[in-house]
Structures are given as C-alpha cells and as structure tokens.
Homo-oligomer: A and B are copies of this chain.
Amino acid sequence: MDLNHLKTCATIVPSSYVNLAQQSWMSRNHIFQHLLNHKKIPDEGWNECLVETFLSELSQLDSNNLIGKCGAGEREGRIYSDIVARRNYRFSHGVGRSGDVTAVQPKAAGSSIVNQLCSKLVLDFIHQAGGTTAKSCIIVPMATGMTLLLCFLALKSIRPDARYIIWPRVDQKSCFKSMISAGFEPIVIENCLVGDELCTDVDAIQKVIEKVGADSILCIHTTTSCFAPRIPDKLEEIAQICKDKEIPHIVNNAYGVQLSKCMHLLNQASKFGRVDAFVQSCDKNFMVPVGGSVVASSNKDNFLELMASTYAGRASAAPAIDMLITMLQMGRNGLKNLLSERKDNYSYLREEMRKLAEKHGERILETPHNPISIGMSLSSLVDKTADVTELGSMLFTRRITGARVVPLGAKKTIGSFSFQGYGSHCNTYTCPYLTVAAAIGMKREECDILVKKLDKTIICLKKRVSQSGSAEISEEC
C-alpha cells in the first residue's frame, strides 16, 4: 500500500481512523528504510508480520514473480507445488550467479538483496558477539565441513604447489574430511596435556614447517570451539607464525560466535598475526536448521572474494532466508540476552555437574579455557569400556541426546588415516568421561532436567552392573 491507497481508504472509512493508521504505516516504512540503509540487526526484534511482509515484498522483485512477465523460453523459475512456493516465499532463483556465490542475479533482484542484506546482518551479529575485527563475511549454503573444503580449494588457486595442511588434532570427522576430500594431506599435530586440558603443541607446528617447508603447506587449519577437555587452539601464537612464514591460516570457529572467548582469540590473532578466514556454522550459532555456514575475515574481502568465485554456480537461498528471518526477529536485544543467558547457564550447569560428580565419586575436568563444554570423569565405572558405552546407549534411549560419552582407547580410520583414542582428541586420555555443552538457546530448566536424568541413569547403570544386569532391575530404571 502506498499513500494514495490510504487516501482512498479514507473515502471508505472516516479519515481520522485512517490517519491514526497512517502514523503506524509510516513507522513501518521507516523501519524498512532503516534496515535497507544501515544493514544492521534492528535494536528490537521485528514481529512475524513485519518479517513476512518484508520478505514478501522482496520476493516480488524477482523476475518469476513480476506482474506481466513473460516466462516462456526460460528453463527455470517455475515452482510446481504451491506448498513449495509458499514455504520459499516464492523465491526460486537461489543466490549467486554461475561464477560467484555472492554475485547479484539479474533475474532475481529480491533474492540477491536477501543475500546481500543477510551477510551484512551476519557481520553485525559477529560484531555484537565480540568479533570486532571482522571486516566482511559471506553466507555459504553448505555446512561447515564443505565450506572448509571450499576454503582449501580457494587457497589452492593461489598456492598451486601446496600439498599439506597443518592441523592440530580435534576429533570431529567433518573437519578432517574437508581436508582429504579437497585432496590435501593433513599433518596431524597431537595435543599436549596440561592439567586436564588438551592444548596446541606450537613447537610441533614450528618443527613441521621447518621440515616440509612453508611453500608446501596450503595453510594451518585451527579450531576454536571444541569439546572439553580439548581447549581452543593457541590462535595468537599460530597466527604469528602464519604471518612470519606467509602461510595462510583458516580457523574452524564452528560454534564459536556465541563464545566471547573464541571471538576474543580471533580478534587478537587477526590483529597481531594472520587469519585468512574463520568459518562458523549457521545452525550452531544462529539457531537455524543445518545447512549453511558463514565465512568471515578481518581483512577487507580479499580471501572472501577468492572464495566466492571458487564456488561453481548458484546455490540454495534457504540458509540465507532462514538467517535473515532469525536475525530480524531476534534483534540486538534478543541476541544480547541469548549470549548472556548462555554464559549464566554455563556457570550454572558446571556447578550442578560438579555436585553430580561429587555424589558419584567422580570429578569435573578442570578446563577453564573451554568456555562451553563441561567434562565429567567416568572413572568409577567397573568396566571402563563396556560400561561407558552402555551408559551412552542408555542416555540415548532416555532421549538425552546432548551428552556424549568418551571411553578410552577407541580407534577410528578415516580415509588412510588411523586415530588412537578417537573422540578424546589424544591417543590416551587420563580417564573416560562424558561431556555436555551449554549452548545458545538452552534454558535454565533444561539444565536441571539434564542433571537429574544423568543422575538417574548413572544410578540405574550401577545397579544393573552390580546385579549382573538382571531384567527385573533394568525394567525399573
């Protein structure tokens, strides 16, 4: 509706009623204008109606939705199912253009604006979350693993002779896969045990560089967010090395946007050393369905441009749409609340887990540098492997999907690589344990339920074990 419509409305109902609405109508226009001008997350989250109106208006700018369009001759832009059309707000052209995932699509002005706006808002999100040195970012409609792979391919175009990626070990399959699927050979740097914490072995990295030569190294691939007892890599020192040796540096910051400590590490590393890009998952930081990731950089665009143009073809707009909706509804205030709630929940859950550990003769692993994940030893279980595994499966059937048990001595082969003690980020950890994370969006009540259910399940397991697992007992618990 425009002002002429409102004027005509005032011929249908008294103009004083329409005038009242006109003030509100101008407020709404102002809200839209402000977003388009400033491209930042609004202070207050938008209501559903505003968000849907905005998307619907943008979607009208795409050629498949133009009134008076001539669709014949086109091979695309037709949506068969009305359900599909509605759930995609009638956006059908995806994002990007054949050679560049961030390029504007001539047939899809609206989709392109969604994508451009979304990346600006994500940048603002990162700033709000503490990543103050970030200069630009792009949304990639692939999850973290594939996006890391794309980073490596992008680097390859400028370092054609590099073969190796230096990688401080973190036992998460996708990030390992990303290197071997891209055709590189990971050089695994085992972690050092300091107290309970598993830390980066910076010396080992330096030795490796000396050994294989900086030119043969595609990049160093570090990790910030991870499960305790592993802690974030020593980003500052590694970034310094990368700067000195002119080796690219890619950081897997999977769920680190929600963690001010990780963002601080990235800031420091970017200021004083070299960080080409840091990659984060959309679902784990922005509370959207799995499917997208964000590549950010503290340099002005160089690596990101390279990366965007490495992407071959267009891509799904779905992650950008989900992200844009979410940030508009969340608002800066909503984001701030989520971040501070998370921090509080972490402290609370840690304390409750500590009490639980004490009750069962266990202890919380001392990992002060890991700001999200809490490890609890499982030393008192009789059979350290079978019982720990059994506990894991009992938790799963009790619908506790967020606690992960790590027995000692698990082996795993990925491609041609074999890992000892897989899951614990080192060949032999000091004890089996379980970990839980205090992630964004979790509620205080959930912490209590988790601890209570963990307690019950451990009691139940111990009963079973002590009574040889008789059926009667297992029924009871």
Interface members, chain A 1-32 (any B CB < 8 Å)? 1-5, 8-9, 12-14, 16-21, 23-25, 27-29, 31-32
A282 to chain B, nearest CB (A): 9
A76 to B326, CA, bound (A): 15
A226 to chain B, nearest CB (A): 11
A402 to chain B, nearest CB (A): 3
A401 x B74 contact (CB < 8 A): yes
- In the complex, what residues of B have CB within 8 A of residue A95's CB? 290
A60 x B20 contact (CB < 8 A): no
Among A62, A72, A84: residue with most chain B CB under 10 A: A72
A11 to chain B, nearest CB (A): 8
The chain B residue with its CB closest to the CB of A18 is B109
B92 x A283 contact (CB < 8 A): yes
- In the complex, what residues of B have CB within 8 A of residue A287's CB? 78-81
Interface members, chain A 185-234 (any B CB < 8 Å)? none
Given contact pairs A99-B174, A289-B94, A290-B93, A68 touches B399 in the complex (Cβ within 8 A): yes
A290 x B315 contact (CB < 8 A): yes
A19 x B117 contact (CB < 8 A): no
- In the complex, what residues of B have CB within 8 A of residue A172's CB? 98
A378 to B309, CA, bound (A): 33
A11 to B177, CA, bound (A): 29
A138 to chain B, nearest CB (A): 15
A177 x B312 contact (CB < 8 A): yes
Q: List 29 A-B contacts (CB under 8 A).
A: A5-B32, A5-B57, A8-B36, A9-B36, A12-B36, A13-B112, A16-B397, A17-B104, A17-B106, A20-B63, A23-B66, A27-B68, A28-B60, A49-B60, A70-B446, A72-B442, A72-B446, A72-B447, A73-B400, A73-B436, A73-B437, A75-B402, A81-B325, A84-B326, A92-B283, A92-B290, A98-B174, A145-B313, A178-B313
The chain B residue with its CB closest to the CB of A54 is B1
Is A340 interfacial (CB 8 A cutoff)? no
B183 x A183 contact (CB < 8 A): yes
Given contact pairs A144-B313, A318-B316, A21 touches B110 in the complex (Cβ within 8 A): yes
Closest 4 CB pairs of A and B: A145-B313, A291-B316, A73-B402, A94-B290
A319 to B290, CA, bound (A): 12
A80 x B289 contact (CB < 8 A): no
- In the complex, what residues of B have CB within 8 A of residue A141's CB? 141-142, 291, 316
Given contact pairs A87-B87, A326-B80, A117 touches B291 in the complex (Cβ within 8 A): no
Is A468 interfacial (CB 8 A cutoff)? no
Is A329 interfacial (CB 8 A cutoff)? yes
A1 to B313, CA, bound (A): 30
A376 to chain B, nearest CB (A): 11
B66 x A400 contact (CB < 8 A): no
Among A21, A62, A92: residue with most chain B CB under 10 A: A21
- In the complex, what residues of B have CB within 8 A of residue A49's CB? 56, 59-60, 65, 90
A164 to B42, CA, bound (A): 50
Is A330 interfacial (CB 8 A cutoff)? yes
A2 to B3, CA, bound (A): 9
- In the complex, what residues of B have CB within 8 A of residue A31's CB? 67
- In the complex, what residues of B have CB within 8 A of residue A137's CB? none
A88 to chain B, nearest CB (A): 5
Interface members, chain A 97-156 (any B CB < 8 Å)? 98-99, 104, 106-107, 109-110, 112-113, 116-117, 141-146, 148-149, 153-154, 156
A12 x B117 contact (CB < 8 A): yes
Is A433 interfacial (CB 8 A cutoff)? no
Is A450 interfacial (CB 8 A cutoff)? yes
Q: Contacting A399 at CB < 8 Å: which of B69, B173, B284? A: B69
A77 to B74, CA, bound (A): 38
A298 to chain B, nearest CB (A): 23
Is A358 interfacial (CB 8 A cutoff)? no
Is A91 interfacial (CB 8 A cutoff)? yes
Is A417 interfacial (CB 8 A cutoff)? no
A177 to chain B, nearest CB (A): 4
The chain B residue with its CB closest to the CB of A402 is B73
The chain B residue with its CB closest to the CB of A311 is B146
- In the complex, what residues of B have CB within 8 A of residue A57's CB? 1, 5
Is A357 interfacial (CB 8 A cutoff)? no
Given contact pairs A5-B36, A177-B98, A291-B94, A396 touches B312 in the complex (Cβ within 8 A): no
A305 to chain B, nearest CB (A): 14
Among A19, A23, A288, A289: residue with most chain B CB under 10 A: A289
